[in-house]
Structure 1
Amino acid sequence: MLEERIRVKIKKISDGDADRSNVPFYATTGAAGADLFASLDQDMVVRPGERVRVPTGIAIELPDPQVAAFVFARSGLADKKGLALSNGVGVIDSDFRGEIKVLMINLGNEDVVVSNGDRIAQIAFMPVCRAIFTEVDDLGDTLRGEGGFGSTGL
């Protein structure tokens, strides 16, 4: 059973006098991702098919290059309102120090209003390995070979 935790430094970013940022938190004891919140001066209307950048009001510092943060959609927003991440999954590298902004797209048929403090995505932290790329003439054989895109069944 893995009991290890990492320490992630958080810097709140605020424009003007108001502190609109919220520190991410885990909604349940078994949650893999911590919720990220919208940090907005005013409501943001996301029209069907529209892509937006939603600021979170925070920046992070990861402990080392072997850890990255990944931003995932919240399933409830996708299911109920059609809001998804326009980039699929956001990757936050260990050397990035800017504000985390969530790239969203409205895949639904109606306008969606995002308000300050709304939970808009979730962030998870995972180990990463950096590859050493070696160019070769041939790759090892497997049963699957070059079969892809449904080659193992639906």
Structure 2
Amino acid sequence: MKLQNIILLAVLVVLSGCKKPSEQEEGQTAIKDEIQALENRYAKAVSSKVLDSIMPYYADDAVSYDSEAKPLSGKKSIRASINNKSSAYPESEQMTFTVTEVFPSSDAEQVVEIGHYQVKDSKGIAYGSGNYFALFEKRDGKYVCIRDIQTPDTPRKVAVK
């Protein structure tokens, strides 16, 4: 009888340690997956330099902050900047964006994302990386970026005079 009680107690202890994810955790994981999918499409579009594929990432009234320039307001300014910067990158460049954390509002209408980006050459050798924050807002049932800021891991070197 004592052995049965010990086995039953052991089973109960093991089962009590098996915690199911809460609805909130599951919802946050789904949002993180959705934002990562947006970042993957954005990276593919940036790497292919197809501006029309890049721009759906941004809301019409988005503001983009770059560590090396003044803030860009609106899709038109962001598009011009991306077009200008992408012309300097090699055709074989590949960018990746990795979502590290998401912080959705209580109603999930807005999400703050923290992530890391990396730029690789045609041989897969990383030659640039950095971190970013993005604020997404759900519009017409889809998340769009309304604010973003990025900074490279290695600051641009300034010539000493």
Fold-level match, TM-score > 0.5?
Answer: no
- TM-score between both structures, scaled by the size of structure 2: 0.22
**Who wins on radius of gyration, i.e. which is larger?**
2
Structure with higher helix content: 2
What is the TM-score normalised by the length of structure 1? 0.22
